[in-house]
């Protein structure tokens, strides 16, 4: 797999992650129980579980709805129901994580194409600079 393909996949996952976060926020806004922390630790634990399940389902829905775009970027072996479930779980993790991964993938691509010296940190990456 080429650095460009990896960069495209990570970019897609970051975009789907942002879409998933927005969908979760819309649903949380419509259901007050999900949107407000509870002082009872047992109820709060169930709320957290519900939010994780909601994020995973929202990730799957986002990936499924972007199907034609997704199928043009991901490897053909992922282009089935199980692949979309895995993508849904991946993008439910949050866009901040994927944005960091994207900056490293872009830096790797730039290094391989000779645009950036290997000793220079990725722009927007976690390294101080």
Environment class of 31 (CB within 10 Å of its CB; exposed 0-12, middle 13-18, buried 19+): exposed
Decide if 120 is inside a domain. no
d(CA 67, CA 73): 10
Length of the chain: 129
Q: Give me the phi and psi of 119, to 5 degrees please.
A: -85, -10
Nearest alpha-carbon partner for 94 in 124, 30, 51: 51
Q: Give the domain range for residue 30.
A: 3-112
Q: Give me the phi and psi of 95, to 5 degrees please.
A: -75, -25
Decide if 119 is inside a domain. no
More confident residue, 115 or 64: 64
Q: What is the largest CA-CA distance in the chain?
A: 56
Number of domains forming the structure of the chain:
1
Decide if 123 is inside a domain. no
d(CA 29, CA 63): 22
d(CA 117, CA 37): 47
Decide if 127 is inside a domain. no
pTM (global) more than 0.95: no
Residues 84-109: what's their mean pLDDT? 78
Question: CA 87 from chain center: how many Å?
Answer: 8
Decide if 124 is inside a domain. no
Residues 46-63: what's their mean pLDDT? 92
Decide if 122 is inside a domain. no
Judged against a pLDDT cut of 50, whether residue 127 lies above it is answered with no
Decide if 58 is inside a domain. yes
Decide if 33 is inside a domain. yes
Judged against a pLDDT cut of 90, whether residue 26 lies above it is answered with yes
Out of 33-47, 74-88, 112-126, least confident range: 112-126
Residues 31-47: what's their mean pLDDT? 92
Judged against a pLDDT cut of 80, whether residue 128 lies above it is answered with no
């Amino acid at each position: 797999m080429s650095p460009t393909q990896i960069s495209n996949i990570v970019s897609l996952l970051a975009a789907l992650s942002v879409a998933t976060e927005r969908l979760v926020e819309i649903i949380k806004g419509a259901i007050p129980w999900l949107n407000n922390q509870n002082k009872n630790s047992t109820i709060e634990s169930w709320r957290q579980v519900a939010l994780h399940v909601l994020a995973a389902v929202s990730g799957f829905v986002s990936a499924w709805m972007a199907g034609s775009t997704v199928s043009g970027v991901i490897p053909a072996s992922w282009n089935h129901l199980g692949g979309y479930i895995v993508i849904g779980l991946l993008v439910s993790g949050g866009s901040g994580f994927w944005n960091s991964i994207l900056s490293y993938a872009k830096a790797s691509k730039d290094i391989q194409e000779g645009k950036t010296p290997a000793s220079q940190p990725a722009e927007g990456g976690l390294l101080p600079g």
